[in-house]
């Protein structure tokens, strides 16, 4: 019995000795100790990303813009004009917020930002329509915000087209045509739409699937630039390398792993938000999406190392990291398609790993394509990693050279 207890104690002692003496775990435990001594690390790896998730979710909670304010200038003041206003108000995109006796007052309210559109119903509208004549109804839309302008244009046009079709149908049936023939005459060609992806026009599916990962990218870059940059600023690089037995690869692996774990937790929370809270479609492989997220995190971690290796300056590294992270959305091809960009901008978009993440997510989550279609973006992640790893000799030199220490 005593021999068995001794073997157990020896095994535990051997394990503890291994963790204390193994260079990788020595660096890992050293970094955990550094993180526990500062709230900056906790904020940039866990609290900050989660707060950004909550803020973005609250902004896009509705999914699509609803009840945008519209003004009505009813110069006809008849049953038909009131019905037109009622139909516009019934659309989910528009809400009749004000009625005006003339156009000048309506324009003034739009100039003050209180209206997004003005509908002008001219005098004699009902009279002309009852005579079988066409009548023009003017719609003025504030298109400074393309999203709101597009939604309003679609909603108002749909309501007026439906009302117009109903009036034509009544005239056709009064002329003696059966209902079926009257419908065919009113709409001889019918459009049968099949929206394959995001059929509800949900804006949160469109933007949050990029903005939430972008927050992970931003905090990945900032936290890792700060973690490596403080070693240069404080002159603790030699101590870091000593814990790693002089190996920059072992030192970097042990140092970055805690951040990888915490940022992966952020990615898991993000997936819960996207697929369970928001109901974002998941048509493909979740495992491959998760693998893509981990690869994206590791890629941006090593890009943070590259920034510090090149600049050898914490403040400059943080500034460049912020700019580089935020430019990623612009060139990702999500808000403006890559194929429509000028050649130079299209080429520039490949300088951002986030572009590849967007392709992987759309391929697997939205379209449900075969995994083979997402392999090229994954391979580009590897290319970024290899480029970043090539800067490690430079980083080792910076950590050991006193002239770089103490720089803000």
Q: What is the pLDDT of residue 228?
A: 94
Q: Contact at 8 Å (CB) between 71 and 117? A: yes
Q: Contact at 8 Å (CB) between 331 and 305? A: no
Q: Which has the higher per-residue pLDDT, 19 or 207?
A: 207
- Give the mean pLDDT of 13-23: 64
Distance between CA atoms of 48 and 216, rounded to whole angstroms? 9
Residue 2 has pLDDT above 60, yes or no: no
Residue 12 has pLDDT above 50, yes or no: no
**Sole residue written with tokens 């073997």:** 7
Distance between CA atoms of 103 and 115, rounded to whole angstroms? 13
Residue 157 has pLDDT above 80, yes or no: yes
Q: Which of 59-63, 208-212, 324-328 has the lowest mean pLDDT?
A: 59-63
- Give the mean pLDDT of 264-288: 88
| The token pair that represents 28 in the structure block | 């890992």
The domain ranges of the chain are: 21-60+200-404, 68-186
Residue 15 has pLDDT above 60, yes or no: no
Q: What is the pLDDT of residue 215?
A: 92
Q: Which has the higher per-residue pLDDT, 242 or 132?
A: 242
Question: Which tens digit of pLDDT belongs to each residue from 229-257?
Answer: 999 999 998 999 999 998 999 999 999 99
- Give the mean pLDDT of 304-324: 93
- Which residue in 67, 64, 65, 66 sits closest to 95, CA to CA? 67
Q: Contact at 8 Å (CB) between 49 and 267? A: no
For every residue of 240-291, DSSP letters joined together read HHHHTTT-HHHHHHHHHHHHHHHHHHHHHHHHIIIIIIS-----S-HHHHHH
- At residue 125 the predicted structure's pLDDT band, cuts being 50, 70 and 90, is confident
Q: What is the pLDDT of residue 78?
A: 86
Residue 399 has pLDDT above 50, yes or no: yes
- Which residue in 298, 311, 317, 297 sits closest to 227, CA to CA? 317
Q: What is the pLDDT of residue 394?
A: 93
DSSP type of residue 349: G
| The token pair that represents 130 in the structure block | 């009852």
User: How many CA within 13 A on the CB side of residue 30?
Assistant: 25
- At residue 20 the predicted structure's pLDDT band, cuts being 50, 70 and 90, is low
Q: Are strands 117-121 and 68-74 parallel, antiparallel or unpaired?
A: parallel
Please state at what angle helix 286-311 crosses helix 203-233, rounded to 10 degrees. 40
Residue count (the chain)? 408
Q: What is the pLDDT of residue 17?
A: 60
Q: What is the pLDDT of residue 408?
A: 59
Highest mean pLDDT among 14-18, 159-163, 195-199, 317-321: 317-321
Question: Which tens digit of pLDDT belongs to each residue from 373-398?
Answer: 889 999 999 999 999 999 999 999 99
| The token pair that represents 345 in the structure block | 């901008």
Q: Which of 126-140, 213-227, 348-362 has the lowest mean pLDDT?
A: 126-140
Question: Which tens digit of pLDDT belongs to each residue from 86-113?
Answer: 888 888 888 888 888 888 888 888 888 8
Residue 361 has pLDDT above 60, yes or no: yes
Q: Contact at 8 Å (CB) between 223 and 394? A: no
Residue 181 has pLDDT above 90, yes or no: no
- Give the mean pLDDT of 145-167: 77
Q: What are phi and psi of 377, to 5 degrees?
A: -60, -35
**Sole residue written with tokens 């997220």:** 293
Q: Which of 2-16, 79-93, 249-263, 341-355 has the lowest mean pLDDT?
A: 2-16
For every residue of 326-340, DSSP letters joined together read HHHHHTSSSSS-GGG
Q: What is the pLDDT of residue 68?
A: 85
Topology classification of domain 68-186: abc type-2 transporter like fold (3.40.1710)
């Amino acid at each position: 019995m005593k021999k068995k207890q001794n073997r157990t104690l020896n095994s535990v002692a051997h394990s503890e000795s291994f963790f204390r003496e193994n260079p990788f775990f020595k660096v890992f435990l050293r970094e955990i100790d550094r993180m526990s001594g500062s709230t900056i690390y906790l904020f940039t790896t866990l609290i900050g990303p989660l707060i950004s998730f909550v803020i973005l979710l609250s902004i896009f909670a509705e999914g699509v813009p609803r009840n945008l304010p519209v003004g009505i200038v009813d110069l006809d003041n008849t049953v038909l004009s009131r019905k037109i206003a009622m139909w516009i108000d019934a659309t989910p995109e528009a809400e009749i917020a004000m009625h005006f006796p003339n156009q000048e007052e309506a324009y003034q309210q739009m100039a003050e930002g209180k209206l997004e559109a003005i509908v002008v119903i001219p005098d004699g509208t009902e009279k002309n329509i009852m005579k079988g004549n066409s009548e023009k109804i003017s719609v003025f839309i504030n298109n400074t915000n393309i999203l709101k302008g597009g939604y309003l244009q679609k909603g108002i046009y749909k309501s007026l087209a439906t009302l117009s079709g109903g009036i034509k149908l009544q005239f056709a049936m009064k002329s003696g045509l059966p209902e079926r023939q009257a419908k065919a005459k009113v709409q001889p060609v019918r459009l049968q739409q099949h929206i394959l992806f995001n059929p509800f026009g949900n804006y949160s599916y469109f933007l949050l699937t990029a903005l939430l990962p972008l927050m992970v990218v931003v905090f990945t870059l900032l936290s890792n630039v700060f973690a490596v940059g403080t070693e240069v600023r404080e002159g603790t690089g030699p101590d870091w390398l000593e814990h790693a037995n002089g190996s920059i690869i072992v030192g970097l692996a042990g140092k970055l792993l805690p951040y990888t774990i915490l940022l992966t937790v952020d990615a898991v929370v993000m997936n819960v938000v996207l697929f369970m809270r928001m109901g974002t479609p998941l048509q493909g492989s979740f495992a491959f999406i998760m693998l893509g997220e981990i690869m994206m995190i590791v890629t941006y971690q090593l890009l943070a190392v590259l920034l510090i290796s090149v600049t050898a300056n914490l403040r400059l590294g943080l500034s460049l990291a912020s700019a580089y992270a935020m430019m990623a959305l612009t060139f990702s091809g999500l808000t403006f398609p890559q194929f429509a960009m000028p050649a130079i901008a299209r080429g520039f978009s490949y300088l951002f790993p986030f572009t590849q993440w967007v392709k992987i997510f759309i391929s697997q989550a939205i379209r449900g394509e075969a995994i083979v279609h997402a392999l090229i973006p994954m391979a580009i992640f590897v290319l970024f990693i290899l480029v970043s790893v090539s800067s490690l000799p430079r980083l080792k030199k910076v950590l050991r050279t006193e002239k770089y220490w103490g720089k803000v």
